[in-house]
Amino acid sequence: MVKNLVDVSDLMDAAITKSRLLKEGILKSEWDKIVGELSKKSFVIFLKNGKLFVGVENSIWIQQMNFQKQSIIKKNNEFLGGDYVSEIIFKIGKKDTKDYFLSEKERDDSIDLDSVILTDEEYLQMEEELMEIENDLIKKQTKVVLEKSYKRKKYLKLHGYKQCKCGIYYSSIEPMCAICMNKEVLKLEETLMKAFKNGKMLKYSQAVKEIETLTEKEYNRIKLKKLSKIKKDIDIYLRNGKKNLAFELSKLYFRIDLGELEDEYIEKRAEEFIQLLKK
């Protein structure tokens, strides 16, 4: 009889090995212990194929967490009891854009999960996810976690939350969550910045032909951002006595600012600009 007994910890280890959801849930609930004070600026989004996606408040904190990435990976695996996390991908996002572990108001102690009723179809779907788990005890323990997850998702949907393509639940009227929107904005900025540098898309009418969803407001915002960066670089070159480089950047500044004009006029404005900055 004794030979057939299985240690509960062994069962949980087996459950963790098989269940991505369970691993993810452990990291979410223990995040403050894993990263300490950094948990106030970050949160677990999801775990997939060994990659842990983490939302971080801003680029400054991403840089800070990148310095500690390897130690954070190590601590994650220590909590999970195995090498389940091989990479961490940081994404900019505020804590209130998280999935169903959103904020204090939406945690288990404030959501009445018992009031959320799952349909027969949802239970069948849940059973399909549990089919690969053979041990009854492991299956039972995993089912508890899975049922809570289903109920949280349903609760948020019933209260107006939408699910983004990345899996995060959010409450704004936007077509995607803040993290994905930020990613799209950065991608758009990169595209326009490269175009400006190469003397392309210097007018909104040109840019919108290439990027149909681009608004004039967004175009002007990115354009001003590029001009501001160029001006800072011009100042640096002038302080270091590199007038020729400053002049070339000044020409680029006015090409972007004024659009496609004659080179002679652009050069004249660039020279005037250099003289003004030198005063």
Q: Model confidence over 267-276: pLDDT tens digits?
A: 888 888 888 8
- What CA–CA distances, in Å, run from 115 to 111, 140, 160, 170, 184? 9, 21, 17, 21, 37
Tell me the average pLDDT across 185-203: 87
Tell me the average pLDDT across 236-245: 90
Residues forming beta bridges with residue 90, ordered by sequence position:
54
Burial 159-196 (b: 16+ CB within 10 A, else e): eebbebebebbbeeeeebbbbbbbbeeeebeebbeebb
The per-residue pLDDT for 99 is: 43
Q: What is the token pair recorded at 257?
A: 């600012």
Look at residue 240 and give its three-state secondary structure. coil
The per-residue pLDDT for 19 is: 61
Q: Model confidence over 105-121: pLDDT tens digits?
A: 444 445 677 788 889 99
Mean model confidence pLDDT for the chain? 80
- How far, rounded to the nearest angstrom, does the alpha carbon of residue 137 sit from its chain's CA centroid? 36
Nearest to 47 by CA among 178, 167, 184, 179: 167
Q: Model confidence over 151-180: pLDDT tens digits?
A: 888 888 888 888 887 777 777 787 887 777
Tell me the average pLDDT across 17-37: 77
Residue 16: pLDDT above 50? no
Tell me the average pLDDT across 23-42: 85
- How far, rounded to the nearest angstrom, does the alpha carbon of residue 112 sit from its chain's CA centroid? 29
Q: Between these two residues, 19 and 178, which has the higher pLDDT value? A: 178
C-alpha–C-alpha distance, residues 13 and 17, integer Å: 6
Residue 103: pLDDT above 80? no
Tell me the average pLDDT across 44-58: 87
Q: Any idea where the domains of the chain sit in the sequence?
A: 2-158, 178-278
The per-residue pLDDT for 114 is: 79
Tell me the average pLDDT across 262-266: 85
The per-residue pLDDT for 94 is: 66
Residue 97: pLDDT above 60? no
Residue 47: pLDDT above 60? yes
On whether the pTM is more than 0.85, the answer is no
Q: Model confidence over 123-151: pLDDT tens digits?
A: 898 888 888 777 777 778 778 878 888 88
Nearest to 27 by CA among 101, 90, 95: 101
The per-residue pLDDT for 87 is: 94
What band does 69 get if pLDDT is binned at 50, 70 and 90?
very high
